[in-house]
A and B are shown apart, each in its own frame.
Chain A
């Protein structure tokens, strides 16, 4: 390994953004493969301002969100090669806010760059972005709000934090620096011993004062797998989707993003998709491409399953909160149970 002399030269940064922030287009351009452009692009301009004289975005990699997630291995290979060419000192991805595919891509690329190229990495996204749970342990991810309206607020934080990481400076706790907790424990020396601190915490708790736990209990919310179906030919199957399939005209106005409701519709009444987070052209042509009613009917006609629950349950997965998704499903699951459904096929885009 070549040891580079630390000098006052500008830190060379490579920035990763998606097709939307590069102004290439929206969902209809989410399939574009990775490409490299010189200098900063889109939000990179704001980030470059924050870097000032300390760092320079020498190149920006732009990649379609769907392309990345559907071709991870190939995309990573190309992207890593592009970054290597630049001899970067720092890699920054996003901010992705609540865009799930974008966050997953930012996390995946950061993780690979850190591991394979040994370059320090930083990204930023909203806490419910799947990218957080996927890579929080290995990648520094700054907290952001849940929409790009938070761009102006997060860029200064991102610029500052990224420089710290690039310079290998001491990084404080998640609370101090504003990044998603990584679940790492750090030994520190403190004045008071454990007994004293525990007693103080207990007193605070009992007298209703504020206290901060030194060890948050891990939240396990995995679910026991449902028992396997013994005999498919007598089983009643229900269909559910987060792909936003709705009857023509979206009669209940399910939102294209951050859905506040779900729909219950006859399986014979699929018309289009309400989901704004993927190119709707294929689903609108044939909703079976997202909710496979046609083949499930074939399978039933052949006697391979007992029956099909007559309604499908649908909402838009795009940016819909975990709390809402859980509430919707908990509610309609009761209807499935009441109708003696045996198993569920849930499709997601």
Chain B
């Protein structure tokens, strides 16, 4: 889906847990997620902390969208 959307010219950032899979299928901007059942969360944290964690990942994702890339790039948190 990432590539099909990006083929229209729209930049896409892929927030994914299994980064090697995202790389193999060809996403250009990748932000690693937390875990498979909760990519943007952590149930072990207090609600406020969890929201802050989620915020951090989305901030990173938005930042990735502002950066020109020529090759596949993983934006580590």
Which residues of A approach B to under 8 Å, CB–CB?
Answer: 27, 30, 66, 69-70, 72, 100-101, 104, 108, 130, 133-134, 221-230, 232, 235, 237, 240, 242-243, 278-283, 285-286, 288-292, 294-296, 298-299, 304-305, 315, 325-326, 328-330, 333-334, 336-337, 341-349
Contacts and interface: CB of A to CB of B under 8 A. Distances in A.
Contact of B18 (A69, A225, A341, A345): A69
Contact of A326 (B4, B35, B38, B50): B4
A222 to B, nearest CB: 5
Given A232-B62, A336-B10, A130 B37 contact: no
Contacts of B11: 225-229, 342-344
Nearest to B36: A66
B58 A344 contact: no
A330 to B, nearest CB: 5
Interface of B: 1-18, 20-22, 24-26, 28-29, 33, 35-41, 43, 50-51, 54-55, 57-59, 61-62, 65-70
A344 B20 CA distance: 21
Contact of A347 (B7, B15, B29, B67): B15
A344 B24 contact: no
Given A299-B59, A336-B10, A337-B10, A325 B4 contact: yes
A55 to B, nearest CB: 31
Contacts of A223: 3, 6-7, 26, 28
Contact of A349 (B8, B29, B36): B36
A329 B65 contact: no
A72 to B, nearest CB: 8
* Highest count of chain B CB atoms <10 Å: which of A242, A282, A291: A282
17 contacts: A101-B36, A130-B24, A130-B25, A133-B25, A222-B3, A223-B3, A243-B39, A289-B39, A289-B41, A292-B54, A330-B7, A330-B8, A343-B11, A345-B12, A345-B65, A347-B14, A348-B39
Given A69-B18, A226-B10, A346-B14, 11 more contacts: A30-B36, A70-B36, A104-B18, A104-B20, A223-B28, A278-B37, A282-B37, A282-B38, A294-B54, A344-B10, A348-B15
Contacts of A228: 11, 65-69
B4 A237 contact: no
A281 B60 CA distance: 26
A42 to B, nearest CB: 22
Nearest to B70: A225
B39 A70 contact: no
B41 to A, nearest CB: 3
Given A289-B38, A346-B1, A227 B9 contact: yes
A295 B18 CA distance: 22
Contacts of B15: 345-348
A119 B56 CA distance: 43
Given A229-B11, A295-B55, A348-B17, A66 B62 contact: no
A52 B31 CA distance: 47
Contacts of A285: 43
Contacts of B41: 282, 286, 288-290
A141 to B, nearest CB: 14
A240 B1 contact: yes
Contacts of B14: 346-348
A349 B32 CA distance: 11
Nearest to B41: A289
B57 to A, nearest CB: 7
A343 B10 contact: yes
A282 B42 CA distance: 9
A292 B58 contact: yes
A128 to B, nearest CB: 10
A15 B57 CA distance: 37
A279 to B, nearest CB: 4
